[in-house]
Amino acid sequence: MKKIYIKTWGCQMNENDSFIIKRTLKKKLQCTYVNNSKKANILILNTCSIREKAQEKLFHQLGRWKKIKKKNSKIIIAVGGCVANQEGKKIYKRAPYIDIIFGTQTIHLLPKMIEEKKNTKKILVDAKLKGMQKFNIIFTPKYTHYKTYVTITEGCNKKCSFCVVPTTRGKEISRPYKDILFEIKNMVRQNIREVTLLGQNVNSYLYIDKNSNNICNFQELLYKISKIEEIKRIRFITSHPKDFNNKIIDSYKKIPKLVNFLHLPIQSGSDKILKLMKRGYTVKRYKKIITNILKARPNMQISSDFIIGFPGETEKDFNRTMKIISEINFDNSFSFIYSKRPNTIASKLIDNTTLQEKKHRLHKVQKQIFYQSMQWNRRIIGTTQNILVHGTYKKNKKKLIGTTDSNRIVRFYGCDSEIGKIVSVKINGMKKKYFYGNIKK
């Protein structure tokens, strides 16, 4: 029996790719998934290259797997993801015990490569950019949490000065809207009630049907998905402020299924740094977007990304970032120290800020965001929230567990018949990582 173990690093796109890998190998090779690498005979590493030293992290993990393979030479080790796209066969030169290298757009070829590996001792490599072929296999998995991801775009055309995504995932391609709708409807039959649309830049989604010349942009895709009755919530990640137009904002007025939570990365509060990043918008433009969103949805909560210590960032630039964090009152964020990535424009910029200072700035950002998140938590107490019920609480089967629009976990007493539904819950209080309350009758 083929037993696979997958270790995944990176964003939701990588998580979704790993999901496709599992389902593809199960369908094509009847593989089973195991949670322990020592029990598997196919080890798959799905990598991310967004951070510095991604290669070293990769080889440290491969070194651990090398010990497993020494005990059983028949074990197959496969490396995929963004580092595989970026480095290709160079990975094999440092780790000649691996068997397969595949890319972000060749995961559908894994079954064939694994079968081919039986008859050859050579390294098998295919990390070319091949568009949307990996989505051609249709799955009918059994879901247990009533929510899932659906990829709508692959790649990116923005070419921000710090980012390797255009290199590792290629030019932006939009999936046919009919395929997306078909996939979601298929998921609905397996009890999915909440969908998160994925892409490096989802709001630039644009599909032109060559047969009919019909054009479907992002807001139109949102409307089409909202018409699927069984889908109760729609999320999307990640958006780019440059493409967040008024029509998308208007969608929040017309589509109640869009949640009151938006992740919209600003990256910096300094126009000078945004220009160096080649982001294509100003702080004023970003604030205008948020103002208009809040007019459409006054209860909207916003999260963001921040790159701290970008080359050329002065203390004055950083203080502007701290100012925008307070002004927007972000509920959450992904914040990191700038990582120099190969073959990017930013890697050639002069960086005079010490690592110690960068760490100090990052700590200040994360401390402020944490404080604001706690304030948002306190505001939730005493309100009535719409909760998507995922199931029963493991330690007390009489309690149900679900999530709010802003992904807060809530526990409350209820009946099994509520599972998979959206129910109104009065929030009575909060413990360390979850809220508790009572169903409103």
Nearest in space to 326 (alpha carbons), one of 369, 360, 361: 369
66 pLDDT above the threshold of 90: yes
> How do residues 376-400 score in pLDDT, each as one tens digit?
999 999 999 999 999 999 889 899 9
Q: Residue 175 gets which letter from DSSP?
A: P
Question: 256: helix, coil or strand?
Answer: coil
pTM for the complete prediction? Answer: 0.88
pLDDT bin (cut points 50, 70, 90) of residue 48 is confident
Task: Give the whole-angstrom CA distance, residue 194 versus residue 129.
Answer: 30
426 phi and psi angles, rounded to 5 deg? -80, 120
> How do residues 242-255 score in pLDDT, each as one tens digit?
999 999 999 999 99
Would you say 123 and 92 are in contact if contact means Cβ atoms under 8 Å apart? yes
> How do residues 198-243 score in pLDDT, each as one tens digit?
999 999 999 998 888 889 999 999 999 999 999 999 999 999 999 9
Task: Give the whole-angstrom CA distance, residue 231 versus residue 187.
Answer: 10
pLDDT bin (cut points 50, 70, 90) of residue 189 is confident
List 216's β-bridge partners, or say none: 207
Alpha helices in 118-245 (DSSP H): 165-168, 177-188, 218-226
Which residues lie closer than 8 Å to 335 by C-beta, 6 or more apart?
305, 306, 307, 308, 362, 365, 366, 369
Q: What is the pLDDT of residue 144?
A: 57
> How do residues 104-153 score in pLDDT, each as one tens digit?
888 889 999 999 998 888 999 988 877 777 777 655 555 557 888 999 99
404 pLDDT above the threshold of 70: yes
Q: What is the pLDDT of residue 140?
A: 54
Q: Are strands 173-174 and 384-393 parallel, antiparallel or unpaired?
A: unpaired
Q: Region 4-18: what's the mean pLDDT?
A: 89
First to last CA, the chain: 51
27 pLDDT above the threshold of 90: no
Nearest in space to 2 (alpha carbons), one of 44, 35, 45, 42: 42
Question: To which residue do tokens 């424009």 refer?
Answer: 345
Q: Region 265-272: what's the mean pLDDT?
A: 98
Q: Region 317-334: what's the mean pLDDT?
A: 97
Greatest distance between any 2 Cα atoms in the chain: 65
Question: 370: helix, coil or strand?
Answer: helix
